[in-house]
Structure 1
Amino acid sequence: MASTKFNPSARTLLLFAVALVVVTMLVPYGYIVAYPLRLFGTFVHETGHALATVVTGGSVSGMHVNLDTSGLTLSRGGASLLISSAGYLGTVALGAALLVAGRRQAWARKVLMVLGVGTLLATAIFGGYGSSMLAVGGFILGVGLWALGRRRSRADQPAGALYAGGAVATLAALAYLGFSGALLTWIIGLVAAALLLGVAFYAAPWVQHMLVIALGVQLSFDGLHSIRYLIDHTVAARGHSDAVNMAQFTGIPATVWAVLWALVGVAIVVVAFALFWRENKRESFEASIQ
């Protein structure tokens, strides 16, 4: 008897993901559905700036994501040209990498685990302003005291003080994040990491595969969409942006940088889609002749 287990092909998942992303961009109020993903896209964008800063020898004093999906990374030193380019192109590149990884269902679980752990680390190291390690220390202390309290409770020993201490440490960490303006960034990072790791450990393989492909499409399209808005802003000379930073560093107009990023971004996405489609076309052909 043939198996009825649901296991859509990679091509089917890709077409569904593209259709879903396009619909959320075009239909009225579709942005509401895409809003959490756009917040995560901003998180990835700012993480790109932060990583480029560290890799090129600079230091990061804070990374912040706002409710309007804008963001800011405060850094010192490093290679300014690479740092300014790493936001938009980093988002597109991560999306493209996920698409390439999405060619094989067997890779999906490991990809989600790496992405989840990476999101946790980015949150803990870069999230917010000031020393995020204070919040990390508070949470670790809170969890540690709670674990000790639970252990004492199981041994029928008094544990109220440990539970209370754990609660105080956790609340102190949350208060620090709130007062430093980092709470939203941490919420985005922790929720995203929890979802990624939860799917990696508990979801069906096809769901893991779908999430990798959907995130690849979303981040690729969101990155390109953001660059399109950047071009509009630079043409109208509205506000500060990464392209304006590049213009200040090089003397080349901001619009030129925005258009260049758009061309590079489109090229990256086209190559990723081509690799995805070619790989799955070859697999479909091999399956048909077996």
Structure 2
Amino acid sequence: MSNWVKTILFLIGSALLTHWIPSSFFRNLDTMVHEFGHAVVTLALSGQVQRIELYANHSGVTLSAISGARSWSIIPVALAGYMTASLFAWFLFSVFAKGKQQIGFIVMIVISAISLLLFVRNGFGIMFLIGFIALTIIIMAIPLKWLRNFYYLLLAFLCLEESVFGPIYLIQAAARNTRQAGDATNLALHTGVPAMVWAILFTLFALWCAKQAVQAFLGRSKRPRSASRQSPLSSYRD
């Protein structure tokens, strides 16, 4: 079975499993990372982040200002959201595969804390971040490895699922109305490339990241092997 087939089956299974678990609250983690990506790239390109708003329906928005002389900056800013979310899901599974969940937890808490202190200003967003940070710290402190692993994998699977299905929903939005396809619409307005094309590219990138995440989780990441045997006459490498 090819890695791509495994990835698709893995995503379908993740969607089914996570929808059976009361997980609506935690789905906002992917939204937060998405908007955080927009904010960081905006600041990196000398723009101003006015605020981020997170909503109970798992949507969000980043309000920012970019100088007219640097209007091209809108392109990398618009690209950053979905790409950051996809890379973040891959990161969570990569550190889990290495047995370093603690690093994953710390990164989640740091991003949440920065978002809370600097960017998020609406009521629901603030309450979500406070609750998420507090709960994650409590879980980290509980000396039950199975519980920590369950909580970590719940977050990782939700981020993986949302990072892929988000761009897929974007394709549907672009098919209905190209002016209501979020980041794909912004990219279309500033590049001339249709919103549908951008939505498809976001989806392909998300699937590629998901493939890497699944390979890491299943322990199938390619690693160099250098085992050798010595004999009186020759040596060889497997």
TM-score bracket for this pair, using the shorter chain length: 0.7 to 0.9
How far did residue 230 of structure 1 move?
0.6
Report the equivalent of 1:162.
none
Kept after mapping to 2: 8 A contact 1:38/1:222: yes
How far did residue 67 of structure 1 move?
2.2
Unpaired stretches in structure 1, ≥5 consecutive residues = 1-14, 129-181, 283-290
Kept after mapping to 2: 8 A contact 1:103/1:279: no
Pair 1:86 & 2:80 matched: yes
Question: Which amino acid is the alignment partner of residue 223 of structure 1?
Answer: S
Secondary structure of 1:102's partner?
Answer: helix
The TM-score, its normalising length taken from structure 1, stands at 0.65
The TM-score, its normalising length taken from structure 2, stands at 0.78
Secondary structure of 1:34's partner?
Answer: coil
How far did residue 102 of structure 1 move?
0.7
Kept after mapping to 2: 8 A contact 1:120/1:193: yes
Pair 1:268 & 2:209 matched: yes
The 1:237–1:34 alpha-carbon spacing in structure 2 relative to 1, beyond 3 Å, is: same
Residue of structure 1 aligned with 2:40, choices 45, 51, 59: 51
Question: Which amino acid is the alignment partner of residue 109 of structure 2?
Answer: G
Kept after mapping to 1: 8 A contact 2:49/2:63: yes
How far did residue 240 of structure 1 move?
4.8
Kept after mapping to 1: 8 A contact 2:75/2:187: yes
Report the equivalent of 2:235.
none
Kept after mapping to 2: 8 A contact 1:227/1:262: yes
Pair 1:236 & 2:176 matched: yes
How far did residue 36 of structure 1 move?
0.9
Pair 1:39 & 2:39 matched: no
Please give the residue correspondences for 1:118-267 in structure 2 after superposition, counting only pairs within 5 Å.
Answer: 118-128=111-121, 182-237=122-177, 239-267=180-208
The 1:16–1:241 alpha-carbon spacing in structure 2 relative to 1, beyond 3 Å, is: closer
Secondary structure of 1:60's partner?
Answer: strand
Report the equivalent of 1:100.
94
What's the CA shift string for 1:188-217, capped at 9, x where partnerless? 111111122222222423332333333222
Q: Which has the higher helix share?
A: 1
Q: Highest CA radius of gyration, 1 or 2?
A: 1
- How many residue pairs get aligned? The number is 209
Question: Which amino acid is the alignment partner of residue 58 of structure 1?
Answer: G
How far did residue 69 of structure 1 move?
2.0
* CA root-mean-square deviation: 2.6
The 1:16–1:81 alpha-carbon spacing in structure 2 relative to 1, beyond 3 Å, is: closer
Kept after mapping to 2: 8 A contact 1:17/1:213: no
Q: Percent identity?
A: 24
Moved more, 80-89 or 57-66: 80-89
**Distance between the aligned counterparts of 1:35 and 1:220, measured in 2?**
15
What's the CA shift string for 1:146-204, capped at 9, x where partnerless? xxxxxxxxxxxxxxxxxxxxxxxxxxxxxxxxxxxx11110111111112222222242
Unpaired stretches in structure 2, ≥5 consecutive residues = 1-8, 224-238
